[in-house]
Structure 1
């Protein structure tokens, strides 16, 4: 003898008071939370500005004090970002503020030249300073069976260091 299935009750649909959330200008100012700074998908290489001391306002320093070369951690982060761009795992726009215009165009034009099954991992940078205001570095990029070398040249433009050239092994 077969059983007759019991009817399943349908979900009850309750009317909503508001079809969409209020616009920002419709809410009181106290309800609007401050938006956090957007850093997802970008490389946060800029230093926080130092607190202003008594006297005239100071310009925020980028990459450290004038005359000093960028520290190894920031150089490695820049090398990692460019290796990820060259492997097609990161958009070039994520480091565009750290690149000179010609270098940015060359990076976009070069496309994916590092083929690897897993994300690339850069080693410790080897840094040299051929002249004042210029830093050259190279990093070993571990990406599968065959590691590659990535070389970068950075030049100081005002208070900011910009990558003016890059080169990698095929």
Structure 2
């Protein structure tokens, strides 16, 4: 039997995109939103400027009436608020989880936690003074002086919103 030889396709050279980011003068002229600064150890909350329209708030938890929020999510919210108070996170990143008054108070407070490393939140101590209200406090480890952060959350429909934020000076 004779084998007919088929032509073997030759490899082709394809251009590859540049691995380096473009310089500022090489960017397109369209206004692209600036990327938020990278913060190591940050929580996965939405970064970005405050939207013009009220955001569609994502619930902190889903559950039956009277159910207390998940303690892991409460601790994550406490961590995010501590990072805002230390200047390592923009306040807009936690605004979907707060009422307007609490968010304004957080913005007004500014950077009141000074520490060289990112703050680390300890175990959340949760109490439920009445139905639909949860109060929690966490110890924020930042440098040589730990601080206390207290949050009050109220149930609004199926979601929990932070209505008050207090911390030690």
Under a length normalisation based on structure 2, what TM-score does the superposition of the two structures give? 0.65
- Cα 1:61–1:146, aligned 2, differ >3 Å: closer, same or farther? closer
- Equivalents in 2 of 1:74, 1:143: separation in Å? 21
Aligned position for 1:108: 107
Aligned position for 2:92: 93
Q: Deviations over 1:30-58 (max 9, x none)?
A: xxxxxxxxxx97527xxxxxxxxxxxxxx
Under a length normalisation based on structure 1, what TM-score does the superposition of the two structures give? 0.65
- Cα 1:61–1:113, aligned 2, differ >3 Å: closer, same or farther? closer
From the CA coordinates, give the structure whose radius of gyration is larger: 1
Q: Give SS of 2:134's match.
A: strand
Structure 1 unaligned spans of 5+: 1-19, 22-39, 45-59
- Equivalents in 2 of 1:88, 1:106: separation in Å? 15
Aligned position for 1:141: 140
How many pairs are equivalent? Answer: 118
- Cα 1:120–1:61, aligned 2, differ >3 Å: closer, same or farther? closer
Which of the numbers 28, 48, 61 marks the counterpart of 1:63? 61
RMSD: 2.1
Q: CA deviation at 1:64?
A: 2.6
- Equivalents in 1 of 2:60, 2:105: separation in Å? 24
Asked if the contact 1:42–1:95 (Cα under 8 Å) also holds between the matched residues in 2, the reply is no
Q: Does 1:43 align with 2:45?
A: yes
* Higher RCO (CA < 8 A, seq sep 6+): 2
Structure 2 unaligned spans of 5+: 1-26, 29-41, 47-57
